[in-house]
Structure 1
Amino acid sequence: MKNRMQLLVLLISLSCLGQQYPGFKSLRFDENYSFLKKDTLQHDWYRTMKFIPLSSSKNTYISFGGSIRYQYFYAKNENWGDGPQDNDGYILSRYLFHADFHAGKFFRTFVQTQSSLADGRIDPSPVDQNPLEVHQVFADFNIINDANKRLILRVGRQEMTYGSQRLVALRDGPNNRQSFDGIKVIASKNNYSADFFYSHYVVAHDGIFDDDSNNDKQLWGSYLVISKVPFFKNIDVYYLGYERAHAVFNDGAGKENRHSVGTRIWGKSENWRYDGETLYQFGDFDSKDINAWTASLNLGYRLNMVKFHPEIGCKVEVISGDREVGDNGLETFNPLFPRGSYFGLASVIGLSNLIDFHPSLNFELAKNIEWGIDYDMFWRYSSNDGIYAPNVSLIYPGDTTTSKEIGGQLESEIVWQPNQYLYFRVEATWFKAGEYIKASGTGKDIFFTGITMQLNF
């Protein structure tokens, strides 16, 4: 632990030497440092790391980067008091390092390692701990690579994220990010961009370099984004196919083959931001027909002329649940591979059988400091279905009570980002257990607090 802290302090001090570069991307392979081949003035260590020419033309080069994140968390009455309890808290650390090799305009390969550690965590899951793995390793074949159009074939292990990350996400909030082994075609022209892919989910194991593709979980589909649309600004249209060999829901267990079709309208102006999405799922689960859906609306209005620029936000979601146990249908929605911290880092509820109303208020206390506070109200959509964790595992069954009230969650956080390299966050969450939680288990209220420190380079 001491060595890791010394490394973090060292890199924080060294990051101050770097000049200002374009901001870091959530998908690090989307960053492009080829502009540095025209920079003949800067020769510090950071520039050298970001652009190392391997040919006289400088069109063949390699770039290095990564991130280091430390988090301390304390939870009282975790899982509403059910299961083992930790009275001391725990430390999560994550190390991501990558190399990005470009051979001219038409070929590149990207390699990234990940080490996610959980110190003091009782019985850590693969979401918390994955000692050392090749997280990404893929090759891009740029068939067309022009300013306004491109056609890329990508093969290998890769991260994927789409839309608002309700269905396919990086899972950056939890300690261990997720990836897929697959093949993808990326096409874009002017205001249109589309991905077509087939993949197997990569399963995390508790060893070194032992993660592997999971034949039991497959994901394929297409995702189209149309930008600069009059009035709407941005429209997403997508299809996602999913197969899971061993699925478990409140209404049984068996093989799941599910298809998702949806659309999303999103954008922002000087004051407004908006994100609306609707999605329908069909297919079969064991001997049952799948008939599930969700609809969500996320709005925000920022008062730019008022001190601290407060933003008033509101999110509403309705997510279907199973209407009757033992029939020939399944209405439980499956969020597939969502971001794990969808309702904050406490992350106690997943996106199945849920009605959620979520008002929020955010302030810009200073140029690089923001404070947010929000309150989530949760109900079950169907009183005959249970509630599920973010990974779609059943937490409590549906027959403990007819009450739909899950509870309310109050969360507040302060984020300080002094520059593009450093990120700090302090947060606290209180979850008031509702009647359904109290009838289904120990039913205690949850208190959760945490501190996050992250360095990107």
Structure 2
Amino acid sequence: MRTLAAAALVLAATGPVLAAERPAIKVNRWQEDWSVLADPAKRTEPLDDLKYVPLGDDAFLSLGLTLRERLELGDAATFGQEASDTSLSQRLQVHADARAGAWRAFVMLEDVRAIGRRHVGGADADRLDLRLAFIDRVSQLADGKTTVRVGRQDFPIDQQRFLSARDGPGVRQSFDAVWVDWSRGPWT
């Protein structure tokens, strides 16, 4: 019951995407841009005042929360030992996204637990950890958009076959790195 109440709270906090101008909730929450809510008339969903907190001229703060709970049932052969391993995998992420002009700072904390699991590995649980923390700057260069990002971040490249955020296990994967991206039209 507690799981359903928590899921309802998350859905109420994020709200459905009703208008084309509103961004979609994404798996990689740092990819969302809630600047469309600068217009107070577009703040129509519950908790929109947390998605867009004005900080002054061309600056705002966006706050968010993600809760994922997954019941895992395991019943593998263990050669005479107890085979059942049923557990609840829980991932809670809280983030803040501050933007001022071309500059941005993003921070996400993550708490991952494997409740009831007999054998807990490193990808299954991690109590309150700094998941993401980066700054970036967007500018124009050679008729294209350039983004330079420094800090702990995700790399969602293509179908994530070579480099992945590892969304299946409870603990997602992040990297400490410098990222430079240039795009112009269909080219990145």
TM-score when scaled to structure 1?
0.37
Structure 1 distance, partners of 2:15, 2:103, is 31
User: Where in structure 2 are there 5+ consecutive unaligned residues?
Assistant: none
Report SS of the residue matched to 1:11: helix
1:91 aligns with 2:92: no
Give the aligned partner of residue 42 of structure 1.
43
Which residue identity lines up with residue 81 of structure 1 in the other structure? T
Work out whether residues 134 and 152 of structure 2, in 8 Å CA contact, stay in contact via their aligned partners in 1.
Answer: yes
Structure 1 residues 86 and 102 mapped into 2: Cα distance closer, same or farther (>3 Å)?
Answer: farther
Task: Please give the per-residue CA displacement for 1:154-186, whole angstroms capped at 9, x wherever unaligned.
Answer: 100001121111110111111111000111111
Structure 1 distance, partners of 2:29, 2:141, is 19
Structure 1 residues 16 and 180 mapped into 2: Cα distance closer, same or farther (>3 Å)?
Answer: closer
Mapping of residues 29-68 of structure 1, within 5 Å: 29-40=30-41, 42=43, 45-55=46-56, 57=57, 59-68=58-67
Which residue identity lines up with residue 87 of structure 1 in the other structure? S
| Residue-pair matches, total | 185
Work out whether residues 10 and 65 of structure 2, in 8 Å CA contact, stay in contact via their aligned partners in 1.
Answer: no
Give the aligned partner of residue 164 of structure 1.
159
Query: Which entry has the higher C-alpha Rg, 1 or 2?
Result: 1
RMSD of aligned C-alpha atoms? 2.7
1:92 is displaced (CA, Å) by 0.7
Give the aligned partner of residue 203 of structure 1.
none
Structure 2 distance, partners of 1:13, 1:186, is 32
Structure 1 distance, partners of 2:48, 2:128, is 27
Give the aligned partner of residue 8 of structure 1.
6
1:62 is displaced (CA, Å) by 0.6
Work out whether residues 84 and 122 of structure 1, in 8 Å CA contact, stay in contact via their aligned partners in 2.
Answer: no
Give the aligned partner of residue 136 of structure 1.
132
Task: Please give the per-residue CA displacement for 1:33-55, whole angstroms capped at 9, x wherever unaligned.
Answer: 11111242535542111111111
TM-score when scaled to structure 2?
0.86
Report SS of the residue matched to 1:48: helix
Report SS of the residue matched to 2:6: helix
Work out whether residues 18 and 47 of structure 1, in 8 Å CA contact, stay in contact via their aligned partners in 2.
Answer: no
Structure 1 residues 145 and 176 mapped into 2: Cα distance closer, same or farther (>3 Å)?
Answer: farther
Report SS of the residue matched to 2:61: strand
Q: Which has the higher strand share?
A: 1
Give the aligned partner of residue 70 of structure 2.
71
Structure 1 residues 191 and 82 mapped into 2: Cα distance closer, same or farther (>3 Å)?
Answer: farther
Work out whether residues 152 and 175 of structure 2, in 8 Å CA contact, stay in contact via their aligned partners in 1.
Answer: yes
1:151 aligns with 2:146: yes
Q: Which has the higher helix share?
A: 2
Structure 2 distance, partners of 1:110, 1:83, is 50
